[in-house]
Amino acid sequence: MSREVPSGWSESQIDAVADMNPESLRSNTSVDFRLKYIDVATVDGPSSMLEPRPMNFGEAPSRARKRVKRGDILVSTIRPYLRSFCQVLAREPDLVASTAFAVLRPKPPVDGDFLYQHVLSEKFVEHLTPRMKGSNYPAVTASDVGAYPFLLPPLHEQRRIAEILSSVDEAIATTRAVIEQTRKVKQGVLERLLTKGIGHTRFKQTEIGEIPEGWPLTSADNVCTQVSVGIVIKPSQYYVEKGVRCFRSANVREGFVEDADWVYISEEGNRVNQKSVLRTGDVLVVRTGYPGTSCVVPPRYDGANCIDIIFARPKIELIDPYFLSTFINSASGKTQVLKAEGGLAQKHFNVGAMKQMQFPLPPLNEQHEIVANIQEFASTEAALERTLEQQIRSKSALMSDLLTGRKRVTDALPMAAE
């Protein structure tokens, strides 16, 4: 291991401090044996486990073989970069995991919570990714997992490091829960306003569902002066460190701009791609990745350009840009995007489908009222997203310091996620 070893620490690797896949069900297990099954879909990202599925062994898939118990660490060996990793916290008996997991059962001299923090680290995924084999289901082996090298401090330091990092995890989980709840409330308010309006009592059925009787249906093509796509060919010859800011899919979030990871093109590149220069109030719509995600260009980004995303320029005398963007982000908008997605390996939403998207057109003053009702939710969500991103960055920096011994737990350390 080519690294400096802090005083009192030692070099180790996972299979030296954990039993790998310690227990399995035999093939002659009774068909009536009752188990609770954990498959890869049950582990919804790092540290997030859905409820295991109860079933009899006779009806369980052939992968249901690895017995697990509280404290075990599950590492998905299929596409490990998706981070389907978790620590088993349930005390229930007869938990059985899929053979798609490597099961780690920590043993002395390692603390299980400390080992799990290593599994959550960037370096762990960086260790596994180049070891993947296969094209359809790229996977690593339990031996690859077990070979992960790390530095092992004395037990009391392990526990303190795990305690600090776990407290940050709890703060991150709390923020995520608040974001999820905010989204649910916002979505409920949004769907009510887009289907019932404000103060209406008479309704009609349309191809997009029930809407107030006085609202006509229209399309983006009818209420926009332009619906087009940004720079499609990568303008690599025009990339510069600082210049004209360019929106990409990563900068378009649901209802707000992600102010990070910008790319820039030169003034010459901007002149060549003048047709996609953005104005305040333009509506941006993602084509690939998360198709249909939409936000509005605020004044501070007037004159920016965009790469491989759709932009629509609303006729402001007919439609509020924020109303159009809000509808695209709604359940009805997402349904239309989903139906219109093309492509095979990677789904995408195209300009033609955007032009034909159907949506209701309330009177302009009612559009403004609807937008005002949901703007508060959007602002709250954006602020929470920024908090979450800061917490995640802080956790990553803290892990880098603590798991390498660059900072010892005897040092004064900020909690970094308050």
What average pLDDT does range 59-63 have in this prediction? 94
pLDDT band at residue 140 using 50, 70 and 90 as cut-offs: very high
- Find the domain containing 118 and state its range: 10-152
Summary mean pLDDT of the chain? 91
pLDDT band at 5 (very low <50, low <70, confident <90, very high): very high
Do both 380 and 355 map to the same domain?
no
Q: Residue 308: what pLDDT?
A: 92
Task: Kindly indicate the confidence band of residue 137, based on its pLDDT and cuts at 50, 70 and 90.
Answer: confident
The pLDDT tens digits for 213-237 are: 999 999 999 999 999 999 987 777 8
Q: Which of 135, 152, 169 is the last residue of a domain?
A: 152
The pLDDT of 176-202, averaged and rounded, is 91
- Tell me the HSE value of 92 on the side-chain side, using a 13 A CA sphere: 14
Tokens 């209802």 correspond to: 255
Q: How far apart are the C-alpha atoms of 378 and 383, rounded to whole Å?
A: 9
Would residue 3 count as lying in a domain? no
Number of domains in the chain: 3
Res 3: pLDDT: 62
Give one DSSP letter per residue of 176-225, joined into a string.
Answer: HHHHHHHHHHHHHHHHHHHHHTTT---EEEETTEEEETTPPEEEHHHHEE
In a domain, 207, yes or no: no
Averaged over 9-26, what is the pLDDT? 96
Task: Look at residue 411 in the predicted model and tell me its pLDDT.
Answer: 55
211, part of any domain: no
pLDDT in tens, 372-383: 988 888 888 889
Tell me which residue of 124, 130, 11 sits closest to 73, measured CA to CA.
124
Query: Which pLDDT belongs to residue 71?
Result: 95
Q: pLDDT at position 225, please? A: 96
CA atoms within 13 A on the CB side of 315: 11
d(C-alpha 386, C-alpha 280), whole Å: 23
In a domain, 206, yes or no: no
Residue 172, domain CATH: 1.10.287.1120
The CATH number assigned to the domain holding 92 equals 3.90.220.20
pLDDT band for 44, please (50, 70, 90 cuts): confident
User: Over 90: is that where the pLDDT of 106 sits?
Assistant: yes
**CB of 285 closer than 8 Å to CB of 354:** yes
Boundary (domain end) residue, out of 314, 333, 360: 360
Q: What is the pLDDT of residues 288-328, one digit of tens each?
A: 888 899 999 999 999 999 999 999 999 999 999 999 999 99
Using the predicted structure, report yes or no on whether residue 2 has a pLDDT greater than 60.
no
pTM of the model: 0.71
Q: Please give the Cα distance from 400 to 343 (Å, whole number).
A: 40
Question: Which strands form 263-265's sheet, in the order they lie side by side?
Answer: 239-240, 263-265, 244-247, 305-306
Q: For residue 351, what pLDDT is reported?
A: 93
263 and 186 within one domain: no
Q: Strand, coil or helix: what is 318? A: coil
Are 262 and 323 members of one domain?
yes
In percent, the amount of the chain with pLDDT more than 90 equals 76
CA distance 298 to 280: 5
Assigned domain for 210 exists: no
Q: How far does Cα 214 stand from its chain's mean position?
A: 39
Strands 244-247 and 305-306: what pairing? parallel
253 shares a domain with 370: no
User: Which segment of 45-59, 119-133, 194-208, 284-298 scores lowest on mean pLDDT?
Assistant: 45-59
Is residue 247 a part of any domain in this protein? yes
Residue 344: band (very low, low, confident or very high) from pLDDT cuts 50, 70, 90:
very low
272 and 336 both lie in a single domain = yes
Number of H helices, E strands in the chain: 11, 24
Output the pLDDT for position 338.
85
Q: Given a cut of 50, is residue 170 above it in pLDDT?
A: yes
Residue type, 133: K
Confirm whether 241 is domain-assigned.
Answer: yes
Distance CA 116, CA 74 (A): 9
Answer yes or no: do 126 and 225 share one domain. Answer: no
Confidence of residue 349 (pLDDT cuts 50, 70, 90): confident
In a domain, 224, yes or no: yes
Do 158 and 114 belong to one domain?
A: no
Q: Note whether 145 and 177 are same-domain residues.
A: no
Under 8 Å between Cβ of 51 and 186: no
Together in a domain, 66 and 161 = no
pLDDT of residue 342: 58
Shared domain check, 347 and 260: yes
Same domain, 236 and 292: yes
Q: Are residues 325 and 404 in the same domain?
A: no
Boundary-marking domain end, from 312, 332, 360: 360
- pLDDT at residue 417, rounded to an integer: 45
